[in-house]
Structures are given as C-alpha cells and as structure tokens.
Structure 1
Amino acid sequence: MPAPQFVMSAEGHRLATYSWGEDDGLTVLCVHGFASSCRDNWVNTGWVRDLTRAGFRVLGVDQRGHGLSDKPHEPEAYGMDALAADLVAVLDTYLLDSVLYAGYSLGARVGWQLAVNAPEHVERAVLGGIPDGRPLARLQIEQARAYADHGTPVEDQVTRNYVTLAERVPGNDLRALVALAEGMRLGDADPDPDRPPQQTILFATGSEDAILERSRALAAATPHGDFVELPDRHHFNAPGSRVFRQAAVEFFEQR
C-alpha cells in the first residue's frame, strides 16, 4: 500500500485515498463495500495489480467509517448524499473531471447514485454486488448493536456474516459500521430502476448471491447495462473472482 493521502469531506472528515500508476493514465476510481477497505477489497484481491498491468491509473478510497478514514459514530453522518459527495471531493482534490468507476456492494450503490446525480464525473462503471449496498436491508441493526456494545451473541445468520466480515478487517470499528448501516436507512432507498444511470454499466454478481436476480433486473433496466454472473461466488467472496477482474478490465479497455 502507498502512503495514504487525506482528503477532507465537506463536514471535515478525513478520507484516506491511495494512488497507483502513472498520473496521466486513465483513472479507475475503486470504491469498496461495507465493512471492507481499499486494501481488503481491491489490493488483496488482485484488482490493483490487474488494472495497473493493463495501463490504468488506480485511485482507491477508504469510505468514511472504514480503513484509515475517519469513523464517526453518529448515524446521521452516513447518508447516501454524503457518501457520494465524499467521492466528488476526492475527484476535485485530484483534479479529475471524469473517471472509470469500480464499486462493490456499498461501493456499487454509491457509484450508482454518483452516476445518476453527477453523471459528468462517471464515464462508465462496473457495479458488483448491487443492490445490496443500502446498507444493509438484510442486517439486523439491534442484534449488531447489542453485539458491539455488550458482546451479545448474534442469532441472525446474515447479521453474523457481516459481523464476522467486520471483525476480519484490521482497524474496523464495529460501532461506526453499525451507525453507518443505521444511518443509511434514515433517508436512503434502493437503486431506482426508473431512474437508472445513462452511462455504459457492467453489473456483476455471484451465482450464489441471494441478490442475483435483483442485480439482473437492475442491469435490464439500465439503458446501456450488461451483466456477468460470477460462477460459484457469494456476496462475501465475489471481489476475489478472477472472472470478475477479467470482465472489468476488458470492459474498461472497450472505452
């Protein structure tokens, strides 16, 4: 990992960013999923290696609440508009008008919104594991909070999976992640298929992921959408799929 470069959000939160490749190369902005980080989602899985080998510059970010970025504990800090605005702040700081976009789960959900609300910033995008980035309609907030605050065992299997994921990534703050999951429910909604991005979008979801058919439906509702199914992958291990990486590199090269 290169040393992080910190960007300030509109509210004054520090956002850790990382850059690989030549500054004059086409830039792929990589945005990770819930309870992950740039390192976990994109470096350890080979994405940065494959993208830079293909000649792209990679710009990674730890979303607020993750990695080396600030981790507020207030749910109000984690609205969708704030997460999308963080990415605009990153692009402005790096003097980038438009980028190629790669996002997974929460990062894909934010990417969808960025592509809809600020289309001038997204040339084309790969959105993996969407629409599960709400986050997270399947996570039981009260059980996750009770575990974070008191160590109460989590009974719900999906919630237990997310807690296990959160504890697997070094530096994660479970209370911040619970605040994120709660905060995005205050005003956020799932991606609106009646208002899809107009850019060319590649959707990718694991064959064993419960959201597979909903992902297909979003791709079908997107005017320039395409879909790739990732064989034998579920929601938590899809970022490591070679099929996923290769499809993304080829998609970006078709620009």
Structure 2
Amino acid sequence: MPIVAPPESRAVYSADGVQIATYEFGDPAHPTVVAVHGFASSGLYNWHSTGWTRDLTRAGFHVIAIDQRGHGASDKPRSTDAYTMEILVADVLQVLDTYLLDEVAYVGYSLGARVGWQAAREFPDRISRAVLGGIPDGDPLKRFKVADAREHIEHGAAVEDRLTGAYLQMASSVPGNDLTALVALVEGMRDGPQPGPDNAPSQPLLFATGSEDRIVAASRALAEATPNGTFFEIPGRNHFNAPTSRHFREAATTFLKSQLP
C-alpha cells in the first residue's frame, strides 16, 4: 500500500534548549508507541517511509516518531558535550511530558534501541514494553574511526575502515544530515552506559536483528540474558536494511498487541 504524506513536525524543546522534531500519527486516544530511529537516520526515514507508522496505526496504535538531536529536522549541535546517553534519554522523557503521555510502548532501532534500553531501565513506570532492533551488548560504534571521519569531512580523505565508511556513506545518503554533528554524537557517547545482562530492564522486550547482521549472535545472547526478553531473527537482512523488513514490522506489531491490557 502507498505511504501517505507525513504530518508536519511539532517541536519539543529539551532541557538544554535543543529543538527536537516529533511527528504524530493516529488517534491520540489509542495506546501510544514512541518510535526512535537509528544513527544517521530520522523518524520519517526509519519509521514512516518504511511502512511502520501505517501498520502500527492500522493495528490500533497512536505513534509519536522522534528525530533524535543531530538528526532529521531536529537541531544539530556540533559540540560533543551535546551528546550523551543521559541527554538522549532526557530528550525522550521530554517528548513524553510534552505530549502528556503517562505510559507508552517503545520501538527503537540501533542507536534508538540503545536509548530505549536505558530509558526503560530509568523509567519503568513510563515505558511498559519495548521493541529493540539491531542491539547487541557493548558499544558497536566503538570501532568508528572518529579521526578518519573528520579527515574525510574536512579534507575529502579516503576512509579505509569499512565500518566507518559504511556509516558515512549511509549518513550522506539521507537529506539534511550534518556529518560533523553526527561525528560529534559518536565521540560524545563514547564510554557511556552499555546494555548488558547486569543492567537489563524488567519490562517485556522483543529483540530483533537481521540474519545477515554481524551482531545477530550477540543480540540473541542479550535477549536470552534479559528477564522478559524474546528474540526475532529478521530473515535476509543486515544492519542497514532491517527496518524495511515486513517480517520485522509484523513481529513487532504482534508483540506490542500481545502486551496490551
């Protein structure tokens, strides 16, 4: 089915004055799902153009998609001090408060899943359940070569590291991305809290990772070590194209509906 035009964004202002763009879909009287995208993506790119907002609203959910700071239509600070896990989690909480949402379900992919893990731990009374896509234990961006990325951005130098090059190529393909801000995000979030068996949220969690993603085994292991975790392997997908999978959407929607009162 065709994807309808998205709504206009609504600005939410964070505690440090950064403008966070949000997009609302469906009936606010229905249970709400907050959707948070991955690194170098955006709320509309990750969740709307791929059919998630369509399928979730048809399933009876109200959806708030967020452009994380540094992404999409949100402000893009270039200082590393503007990016920590604590700040990204606080942005999500500010969105919930602005929309007067007492309790929500959460759907996140990659960076958005890592934020969701931490948010679920800190606010179990606000996040009742979550779908966490493309998340392993540890820090997958630890391998990102910040110095090489800066040389590429500033001087056009070739990037030899394959992972760094893949992320930069993906970031460059999304209109409106500011590569300098995204590299600041990577550097600012280094050495922050990481998901692991010793800090798992207690809510029901669905983990989903592509069968062709190199982190699939680590993601499955994290799900098995989580008190109320289940795992779905997204067939035929890697880390970058998993959000487009119909099987992923269906598994997530079924999970979220099963957790309704």
Gaps of 5+ in 1: none
Aligned to 2:121: 116
Q: Which runs of 4+ in 1 moved over 6 A?
A: none
1:19 — aligned with what? 24
Alignment partners' CA distance in 1, 2:24 and 2:73: 15
Q: Report deviation, 1:189.
A: 3.3
Correspondence for 1:214:
218
| Among 88, 91, 97, the residue aligned to 1:86 | 91
CA displacement at 1:135 relative to structure 2 = 5.9
* Residue identity opposite 1:191 in structure 2: P
Q: Deviations over 1:25-73 (max 9, x none)?
A: 1101000000000111001111011101111111000000000000000
- 2:199 aligned counterpart, secondary structure: coil
Shift of 1:215: 0.4
Q: Which TM-score applies when normalising by structure 1? A: 0.97
Q: Deviations over 1:182-211 (max 9, x none)?
A: 0000x4132131110100000000011111
Does the residue aligned with 2:223 lie in a helix, a strand or coil? Answer: helix
Question: In the alignment, what sits opposite 1:202?
Answer: 206
* Secondary structure of the structure 2 residue equivalent to 1:205: strand
Please state if 1:192 is matched with 2:196. yes
155, 164, 186: which is aligned to 1:181?
Answer: 186
Name the amino acid aligned to 1:82. I
Distance 1:195 1:132, change over 3 A: closer
How many residues align? The count is 254
Question: Which moved further from structure 2: 142-151 or 161-170?
Answer: 142-151
CA distance in 1, matches of 2:137, 2:25: 28
Write the distance in 2 (CA, Å) between the matches of 1:154 and 1:120: 44
Instruction: Give the structure-2-normalised TM-score.
Output: 0.95
Which of these residues, 222, 233, 254, is aligned with residue 229 of structure 1? 233
The question of 1:65 aligning with 2:70 is answered yes
Q: Could you tell me how far apart the structure 2 residues matched to 1:124 and 1:35 are?
A: 25
**In structure 1, how many angstroms separate the alpha carbons of the residues matched to 2:13 and 2:238?**
34
Cα distance, 1:81 vs structure 2: 0.3
Alpha-carbon distance between aligned partners in 1 of 2:181 and 2:140, rounded to the nearest angstrom:
13
State percent identity of aligned pairs. 58
Amino acid in structure 2 at the alignment position of 1:200: P
Mapped pair 1:75 → 2:77 = no
* Match in the other structure for 1:239: 243
Any idea what SS the aligned residue of 1:119 has? Answer: coil
Look up the SS of the partner of 1:120 in the other structure. Answer: coil
Structure 2 counterpart SS, 1:148: helix
Distance of 1:69 and 1:218 partners within structure 2 = 31
Secondary structure in 2 matching 1:24: coil
What is aligned with 1:101? 106
Partner amino acid for 1:240? T
Q: 2:168 aligns with which of 153, 163, 172?
A: 163
Shift of 1:233: 0.6
